[in-house]
Amino acid sequence: MDAVLLSRVQFGLTIGFHYLYPPLSIGLGAILIVMESLYVRTGNPLYRQMTRFWVRIFGLTFALGVATGIVMEFQFGTNWATYSRFVGDVFGSALAAEGIFAFFLESGFLALLLFGWDKLSPRMHLFSTVMVALGAHFSAIWIVVADSWMQTPAGYHLVDAALGRRAEITDFWAVVFNPSSVVRLSHTILGAWSAAAFLVLSVSAYYLLRRRHQEFARASMKIGLLVAILASLGSLVTGHSSALVVAQYQPAKLAAMEGHFPASAPAGLYLFGWVDEGRQQTAGLSLPGMLSWMVHGDASKPVTGLSAVPSQDRPPVNPVFQAYHLMVGLGMALIALALLGGLLWWRGTLAETRWLLWILVFAVLGPQAANQLGWFTAEVGRQPWIVYGVMRTAEAVSKAVSAGQVLTSLILFTLIYLALFVLFIFLLDQKIRHGPLADDLEVAYRRR
């Protein structure tokens, strides 16, 4: 295997593993604001107990997020040095801004969130919670902006600089608000809220099934359901807007997502299928004209197909098709689950509907899988480009690093991450089994 493929596998592995955690930090951050605001407003110790319990889970996911996140920032330099030289002028600014505006805020106030209970008044503690959640969201903004610039580059020009040709900024705001950044950001954030909401639902459902901490579980369930309904429905809306931007700026990606080959013909929307890339055919169940209708509002209008794209510029089709369709399927299932849960909650029978509670226990995996598949679709669908239409992935890799070195680091990352994952699950399970602490019902805030 060559250094390019190995570096891609390593980046995929490390970002995929990392991205198990940030959605939980982002989403739990938002949910903690709700829980602690309820406590500050009502003074009900139950909400305080909830906040303290979920802060502990937050602390664990945050630690894993930090540990695996620093790897990502270094990896542009270690494995993608040619890319870094080429785009540093544009892309580096977004990463630096993420550090200054997001990471400092998040990690600074995390100290108060975790350890400031007896040093702050309830209001000041809530303020810290809000700052941590804001930091997590800011970090999503800058990293999605950076990634979106790679998808739909804007606000730059190519220049022959002292040591070679590179991209330089011409318009900072055009870089930040490049055509895909806002829709992709909203879709990413809602995906993160879903991940956290379904974690809350899973733990609450587990307690209800075991008939433990029932008051705690019911109250958490209510908040979890509300966020899950909002986030899963919102994901559908923002997912649709994202697809429209893809249709306009990355036609090859859209064609791969739907396995659409004819250069210019009306396109259907597959519910499921299988792409035969060799024979350029897609078999499956499709709604005729539906993709044309979604893109153009007219079922008879043509959609650009892969035949119109030179073969060296096409992404791998079937993997993108399958990842995309699985993501959409999971998204729909999560909407159904959230709405059904909400309905039974409203009727007051959810706590007795054991089969649904069991589904909710395992549904925590749904948004995580959908988030991973969504990123897979976005990033693999951009291939063979690292910066769409500007730089190819194969040209971007570090010249000073051999395949053997990357293989070494890849094997080590795999082993270490496997161990971390096992430990994370073990400790998460332990915290969940342990449950909310009775002590946390007693007020330990500093009263001013």
Partner 1 sequence: MSTLVELPVIWYGLVGVLLIGYAILDGFDLGVGALHLFTRKDEHRRLMINSIGPVWDGNEVWLVTGGGALFAAFPEVYATVFSGFYLAMILLLFALIFRAVAIEFRSKVSLAWWRQTWDVSFGAASILASLLLGVAFGNIVWGVPLDGQREFIGSFWDLLNPYALAVGVTTVALFMMHGAIYTVLKNEGDLQAIARGWVNNTIIFFVICYGITTLATLVYVPHMIQHIREHPILFVLPLLTMLAIANIPRETHHGRDFLAFLSSGAAIAGLMGLVGIGMFPILVLARPDPNMSLTIYNAASSPKTLTIMLIIAAIGVPIVLAYTSSIYYIFRGKTKLDSMSY
Q: Which tokens sit at 202?
A: 């899973």
| Least distance CB 415 / partner 1 (angstroms) | 10
d(C-alpha 206, C-alpha 360), whole Å? 8
| 283, 351 Cβ separation under 8 angstroms | no
In the complex with partner 1, the residue whose CB is nearer, 106 or 258, is 106
From the list 84-92, 202-210, 236-244, 285-293, the region that binds partner 1 by CB under 8 A is: 84-92
| Least distance CB 224 / partner 1 (angstroms) | 23
Q: Is 409 in the site for partner 1 (CB under 8 A)?
A: yes
| Least distance CB 69 / partner 1 (angstroms) | 8
User: Which residue's structure tokens are 């995580």?
Assistant: 368
Give the list of residues 6+ apart from residue 310 with CB closer than 8 angstroms, or none: none
d(C-alpha 279, C-alpha 205), whole Å? 47
Q: Is 235 in the site for partner 1 (CB under 8 A)?
A: no
Q: Is 448 in the site for partner 1 (CB under 8 A)?
A: no
Give the list of residues 6+ apart from residue 357 with CB closer than 8 angstroms, or none: 205, 206, 208, 209, 350, 351
- Answer for which of 1, 41, 100, 346 binds partner 1 (CB under 8 A) is 100
Q: Is 408 in the site for partner 1 (CB under 8 A)?
A: yes
In the complex with partner 1, the residue whose CB is nearer, 8 or 187, is 8
Q: Which tokens sit at 437?
A: 């602490």
Q: Is 84 in the site for partner 1 (CB under 8 A)?
A: yes
In the complex with partner 1, the residue whose CB is nearer, 44 or 430, is 430
Q: Is 442 helix (H, G, I), strand (E, B) or coil?
A: coil
Return the amino acid letter for 164.
G
Binding to partner 1 (CB under 8 A): which residues in 101-140? 101, 103-105, 107-112, 114-120, 131
The sign of the CA dihedral 45, 49, 52, 55 is: negative
From the list 99-107, 179-187, 246-254, 353-361, the region that binds partner 1 by CB under 8 A is: 99-107
Binding to partner 1 (CB under 8 A): which residues in 145-164? 159, 161-164
Q: Is 13 in the site for partner 1 (CB under 8 A)?
A: no
> Nearest Cα to 84, choosing from 163, 140, 138, 10?
163
In the complex with partner 1, the residue whose CB is nearer, 171 or 276, is 171
Angstrom CA distances, 368 to 49, 53, 199, 289, 373, stand at: 26, 21, 10, 31, 9
d(C-alpha 102, C-alpha 324), whole Å? 30
From the list 81-89, 289-297, 323-331, 366-374, the region that binds partner 1 by CB under 8 A is: 81-89
In the complex with partner 1, the residue whose CB is nearer, 162 or 297, is 162
Overall residue count recorded for the chain in this entry: 448
Tell me the CB-side half-sphere exposure of residue 206, using CA atoms within 13 A. 16
In the complex with partner 1, the residue whose CB is nearer, 313 or 429, is 429
| Least distance CB 127 / partner 1 (angstroms) | 11
In the complex with partner 1, the residue whose CB is nearer, 299 or 420, is 420
Q: Is 1 in the site for partner 1 (CB under 8 A)?
A: no
| 195, 371 Cβ separation under 8 angstroms | yes
- Answer for which of 400, 438, 447, 448 binds partner 1 (CB under 8 A) is 400
Binding to partner 1 (CB under 8 A): which residues in 168-207? 168-170, 172
- Quick check: bond before 45 cis, omega within 30? no
In the complex with partner 1, the residue whose CB is nearer, 114 or 308, is 114
- Quick check: bond before 316 cis, omega within 30? no
- Answer for which of 67, 263, 369, 425 binds partner 1 (CB under 8 A) is 67
d(C-alpha 29, C-alpha 304), whole Å? 41
Q: Is 277 in the site for partner 1 (CB under 8 A)?
A: no
- Answer for which of 416, 422, 425, 443 binds partner 1 (CB under 8 A) is 416
| 345, 225 Cβ separation under 8 angstroms | yes
d(C-alpha 124, C-alpha 106), whole Å? 15
Q: Is 414 in the site for partner 1 (CB under 8 A)?
A: no
| Least distance CB 25 / partner 1 (angstroms) | 12
Other beta carbons less than 10 A from residue 100's beta carbon: 11
| 149, 171 Cβ separation under 8 angstroms | no
Question: What is the contact mask toward partner 1 in residues 26 to 45, using x (rule: CB under 8 A)?
Answer: --------------------
